[in-house]
């Protein structure tokens, strides 16, 4: 007997919560009723979907397969409902956009202001996390669109546009010795402590790939979970870092940070727009992507010249 949508929703709730009790609270069922639904689903499919370890549950191999298909089914139905609603409502309503840290903090707020003036019937809900989290939320159908940098497509994702060009620049404190020289050799990085984002950050992935291609061996590293923390740490003399030119623009213009250049090494990327491939784009999502493309690829802002001492 094929699963019902209610059974699939309950299955996904348990898979996400990792607990029958927490899942029951989320779907507003008693725990015995929820367990009955899961049992019926497992009997209908002829296999166990969860491994039960005390109060915690994890997916079996069959459960992981079903999870992927259940997410696609839900995304398809949601997309159909939204497409029908779009026929009546047109470009009205809301859109949920997830963004990794750099575009989420330094680019999308500006774009959102212009977009909502152009499309007053559409409101944008912006959620910010690192790239890995945004990708997971796109696959889980929690976001209409995701905006991430230096992205490689994962299962269930589709890239819709490669929008704004970004450059990761090497920043140092104004008192740093590298400020006095036009360019350093990439190998000099081995003598410095490199401040870097956490695992799952696209900025970290792009930086590590570029340094590896250039044959640069990094010595000491300090992991900090936010770009703002990295900038403050660089200003405090704790090390050097590669950050987006958009993130560092204000500090470079005022001289609180300085840009150092490494011979033959330039790190650039695009911010990509991704969505769940099982969903049909709504009118609102299409309008937002068009606005992002009109926002275009502005020239990489040029920082103020270093103050030589």
pLDDT tens sequence across 269-304: 888 888 888 777 888 888 898 888 877 544 444 444
In this structure, are residues 301 and 250 in contact, taking their beta carbons and an 8 Å threshold?
no
Tell me which CATH code domain 5-73 carries.
Answer: 1.10.10.10
Bridge partner residues of 259 (DSSP): 171
Domain ranges within the chain, ordered by starting residue: 5-73, 75-163+271-295, 165-269
Q: For the chain, what is the mean pLDDT?
A: 86
Q: How does residue 74 score in pLDDT terms, banded at 50, 70 and 90?
A: confident
- Looking at 3.40.50.2020, 1.10.1040.10, 3.40.50.10800, 3.40.190.10, the CATH number of the domain 75-163+271-295 comes to 3.40.190.10
Bridge partner residues of 195 (DSSP): 222, 241
pLDDT of res. 33: 93
pLDDT of res. 309: 36
pLDDT of res. 84: 65
**Mapped to the 3 state alphabet, what secondary structure does 268-288 carry?**
EEEEEEEEECCCCCCHHHHHH
Interhelix angle 5-17/61-89, rounded to 10 degrees, is 120
Stretch 215-239: mean pLDDT: 94
In this structure, are residues 302 and 168 in contact, taking their beta carbons and an 8 Å threshold?
no
pLDDT of res. 87: 53
pLDDT of res. 45: 93
pLDDT of res. 304: 44
pLDDT of res. 161: 60
**Backbone phi and psi for residue 100, each to the nearest 5 degrees, phi listed first:** -70, 170
Alpha carbon distance 217, 43 (integer Å): 55
Query: Does residue 262 register a pLDDT over 70?
Result: yes
Do the two domains 5-73 and 75-163+271-295 of this chain adopt the same fold?
Answer: no
pLDDT of res. 307: 41
Query: What is the DSSP pairing of strand 194-196 with strand 240-244?
Result: parallel
pLDDT of res. 39: 93
Among the residue ranges 41-55, 98-112, 141-155, 218-232, the one predicted with the least confidence is 141-155
Query: Checking phi first, is residue 63 left (phi over 0); if not, alpha (psi -120 to 50) or beta?
Result: alpha
pLDDT of res. 221: 94
pLDDT of res. 240: 97
Torsion of CA 216, 220, 226, 231, to 10 degrees: -80
Q: What is the pLDDT of residues 111-141, one digit of tens each?
A: 898 898 888 888 999 999 988 899 889 988 8
Q: How does residue 202 score in pLDDT terms, banded at 50, 70 and 90?
A: confident
Among the residue ranges 153-157, 161-165, 223-227, 250-254, the one predicted with the least confidence is 153-157
Architecture of domain 165-269: 3-Layer(aba) Sandwich (3.40)
Type and span of the H or E element at 97? strand 93-99
pLDDT of res. 156: 61
Alpha carbon distance 108, 115 (integer Å): 10
Q: Within 13 Å, how many C-alpha atoms sit on residue 74's CB side?
A: 21
- Of 93, 108, 206, 194, residue with least CA distance to 149: 206
Q: pLDDT: is 74 or 175 the higher one? A: 175
Query: What is the DSSP pairing of strand 56-59 with strand 50-53?
Result: antiparallel
pLDDT of res. 126: 95
């Amino acid at each position: 007997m094929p699963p019902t949508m209610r059974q699939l929703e309950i299955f996904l709730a348990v898979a996400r919560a990792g607990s029958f009790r927490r899942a029951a609270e989320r779907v507003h069922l008693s725990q015995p009723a929820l367990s009955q639904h899961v049992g019926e689903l497992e009997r209908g499919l002829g296999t166990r979907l969860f491994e039960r370890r005390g109060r915690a549950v994890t997916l079996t191999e069959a459960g992981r397969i079903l999870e992927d298909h259940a997410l696609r089914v839900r995304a398809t139905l949601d997309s159909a409902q939204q497409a029908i609603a779009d026929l009546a409502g047109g470009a009205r309503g809301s859109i949920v956009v997830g963004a990794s840290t750099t575009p989420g903090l330094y680019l999308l707020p500006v774009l959102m202001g212009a977009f909502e003036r152009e499309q007053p019937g559409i409101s944008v809900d912006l959620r910010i996390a690192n790239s890995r989290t945004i990708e997971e939320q796109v696959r889980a159908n929690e976001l209409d669109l995701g905006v991430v940098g230096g992205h490689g497509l994962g299962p269930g994702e589709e890239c819709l546009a490669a929008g704004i060009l970004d450059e990761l620049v090497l920043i140092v404190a104004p008192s740093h010795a590298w400020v006095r020289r036009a360019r350093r050799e990439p190998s000099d990085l081995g003598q410095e402590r490199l401040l870097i984002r956490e695992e799952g950050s696209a900025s970290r992935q792009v930086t590590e790939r570029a340094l590896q291609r250039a044959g640069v061996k990094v010595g000491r590293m300090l992991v900090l979970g936010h770009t703002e923390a990295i900038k403050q740490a660089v200003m405090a003399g704790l090390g050097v870092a590669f950050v987006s030119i958009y993130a560092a623009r204000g500090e470079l213009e005022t001289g609180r940070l300085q840009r150092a250049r490494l011979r033959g090494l330039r790190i650039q990327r695009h911010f990509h727009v991704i969505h769940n491939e099982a969903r049909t784009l709504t009118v609102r999502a299409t309008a937002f992507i068009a606005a992002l493309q009109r926002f275009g690829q502005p020239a990489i802002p040029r920082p103020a010249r270093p103050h030589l001492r």
